[in-house]
Chains A and B, each alone.
Chain A
Amino acid sequence: MKALIVDDEDLARAVVREHLAAHPDVEVVAECANGFEAVKAAAQHLPDLVFLDIQMPKLDGFEVLELLEADGRRPAVVFVTAYDQHALRAFEAQAADYLLKPFSKERFEAALAKARAVQGSRPPAAQLAAASRQGRPLERIVVKDGPKVTVIPLDRLDWVQAQDDYVLLRAEGKNLLKQQTLASLEAQLDPARFIRIHRSFILNLDRLVRVEQDSKEHREAVLRDGARLPVSRAGYQRLRELWEEA
């Protein structure tokens, strides 16, 4: 069984490593001090088990969880943190266990046993992480492109286009693909800032200059950078409702 230890504190990683030493069948394949390293290491080593801190630089534990899926399989995740307020969210994200620092040997053994038990078939990570965010508007989107992780703060996101099982994210002149449906992304975004203007498009309202009508039923949104996106009748209706509220 391959394990990954992710924590930005050396000493915190050391505790987990020490407890794992008693289990010769568990091999620690990598230790990571931040979320970027964790995602990279997970893609490289395909671990079965990840001990994951939540408060970390760059990517937090939940964002790492969202990106952990590699080759269609997802490791069992045990969160290790000093904060008890994330517990509910962790279980919604189907973490195997939630260890509160500092923890006893017995508690650690129990977590390891649970992780062994849940290992195997599990639902895709992105969908779970998305579900675990319900009610909390997203602040940034994390995308994995091969071994590279890109973080897009939402104020830099121009628009999103549906492409089958993926969404194409347009930000700062670049296109990025993420495996997620447009509807599930839409549910995570702040409806006052991002509008579904078309079956296949979500637009950052801040980028909109005007809407042009070139034929009876055909409208286009003109963006600040000059780009044009189609606006459906329902999308136009949503925009008008927003303008009338304003």
Chain B
Amino acid sequence: MHPLLANRARLGAYLLGWAPLVALMAVLGASQGWSWLEAASLSLALGLFGAFLFLTAWYLCRALPLDPKGGLRAHAPAWIIAAMVMGGLWTGFARLLAWALGLLPGLHQLPVRIGPATPVLAVMGMLLYLAVLTLHYLLAAVERSRESERVEQELRVLARDAELKALRAQLNPHFLFNSLNSISALTTQDPARAREMCVLLSDFLRKSLRLGERPSVRLSEELDLLRNYLAIEQIRFGARLAVAWEVAPEAEQAEVPTLLLQPLVENAIKHGIAQLPEGGTIRLRAALADGRVELRVENPVDPDAPEPQGLGMGLRQVKQRLQGRFGAQAWVEAGIRDGHHRVDLRFPVEQP
């Protein structure tokens, strides 16, 4: 939709902008010996025509958007040709108008007077068209920046949404039910272990609720929570679940988004270990390089299982969270290689 026609206030302001131009044309005419009636009637009609004719500049402006890198030179020929065409139309209309107005009483000299004024009118038409074109480019730029502001706002809302969802998904009910079932089994078989598991589960719930209130935590806190979580899953899976930690000491102090690794480790168990009769080892790696945190979660997968389609929900949320927070600086890669599923995350270290 045309930005001026769509908005009555804008259209009014635009037409008002033409008023001094109409006055100027009338004064110019009068200075050439035209009567005031002749000068005023022709200027007014021509001004109104020009104001609406030049609104077509919008289509040129839309067809040839300004490229911040390309400069102005690329579009200059098109602009000049358009200005010449529009200037021609405007001049032609002026002559037609003069002839038509000449039929009215008191204006019969107009068709004669317009002759010598034609070159000036043509130049004026071209310049006015270029001015209106410039105005349209300015409007388009304003509109674009508003649009990008809106998109940015939306992205921020989405990112926060993803964060909240991720934190909520944190309390995976099946994890809870399976853990409670393990406790139910242990109460008669091994009461001491049942108590141990109750304590582990409580610790885990308390920690994850506490961490969930903060947007970022030290990596050491996140890893601590994961150790807690994996200790519970080790009771459930027994010898099938092993964990290998490769954590660089300096990485432990880095601030990272809260509960970022938790869904990935849950996936590693659900889609990796739980699908393998013999289980396997989950590898967790954390390092710092060039001011960036590098995290990796790796787990073996069943080679016969169908390949997952696209990113799973957990991984998608991790990606959204990182992109919402770090934009293009966030890097997420996931895939299966040599029978292992691997997720790599890289993002800038946050300043606490």
Contacts and interface: CB of A to CB of B under 8 A. Distances in A.
Given A9-B236, A57-B274, A101-B181, A82 B304 contact: no
A191 B304 CA distance: 23
Interface stretch (B51-59, B69-77, B185-193): B185-193
Contacts of B275: 57-58
B214 interface: no
B184 A102 contact: yes
A12 B179 CA distance: 10
Interface string A98-112: 001110000000000
B181 A11 contact: yes
A33 B185 CA distance: 16
Contact of B184 (A10, A15, A151): A15
Nearest to A11: B185
B238 A58 contact: no
Interface residues of B, number: 24
B185 A57 contact: no
Nearest to A80: B181
A33 B240 CA distance: 11
Interface in B163-184: 174, 177-178, 180-184
A100 B236 contact: no
A interface residue count range (under 10 / 10 to 19 / 20 to 34 / 35 or more): 20 to 34
Nearest to A60: B275
A100 B186 CA distance: 17
A83 interface: yes
B79 to A, nearest CB: 45
Contacts of A101: 177-178, 180-181
B178 A82 contact: yes
Nearest to B182: A11
B188 A18 contact: yes
A103 to B, nearest CB: 8
B310 interface: no
B189 A12 contact: no
Contacts of B304: 58, 151, 153
A8 B186 CA distance: 16
B181 to A, nearest CB: 4
Given A57-B274, A101-B177, 15 more contacts: A9-B238, A10-B238, A11-B185, A12-B181, A18-B188, A34-B277, A55-B274, A57-B275, A58-B302, A58-B304, A82-B177, A82-B181, A83-B174, A102-B177, A139-B306
Interface of A: 8-12, 14-15, 18, 33-34, 36, 55, 57-58, 82-83, 100-102, 139-140, 151, 153
Interface of B: 174, 177-178, 180-186, 188-189, 235-238, 240, 274-277, 302, 304, 306
